[in-house]
Amino acid sequence: MRKFSSYGAVDKDLHFYVPREELIQKAYTQLVGETPEKKGGHYITVWPPANAARHGSCGRYSGA
């Protein structure tokens, strides 16, 4: 019996899933650009949660 899962790798025999190839390809094209050999694309910034530094989840000593 398959089940829903929101973390870890997807096993198609064990988990319900929706294939998202078109969406993934669109996001990839936006990131690398339509002509990556000409240095197209965009930078992205990944921000941690606002409380990450206070709780030590950024790998730094929180002092608590």
Measured CA angle at 28 (ends 10, 15), to 5 deg? 10
Contact indicator for 2, 14 with CB cutoff of 8 Å: yes
Q: What is the pLDDT of residue 21?
A: 92
Q: Is the Cα dihedral 12, 15, 21, 25 positive or negative?
A: negative
Task: Domain ranges for the chain, please list them.
Answer: 1-64
**What's the predicted TM-score (pTM) here?**
0.45
The radius of gyration of the chain from alpha carbons, rounded to an integer in Å, stands at 18
Query: Are 32 and 42 in contact, with CB atoms under 8 Å apart?
Result: no
pLDDT by residue, tens only, the chain of 64 residues:
888 888 888 888 999 988 889 999 988 888 888 777 777 777 778 887 777 666 555 555 555 5
What pLDDT score does 41 carry? 77
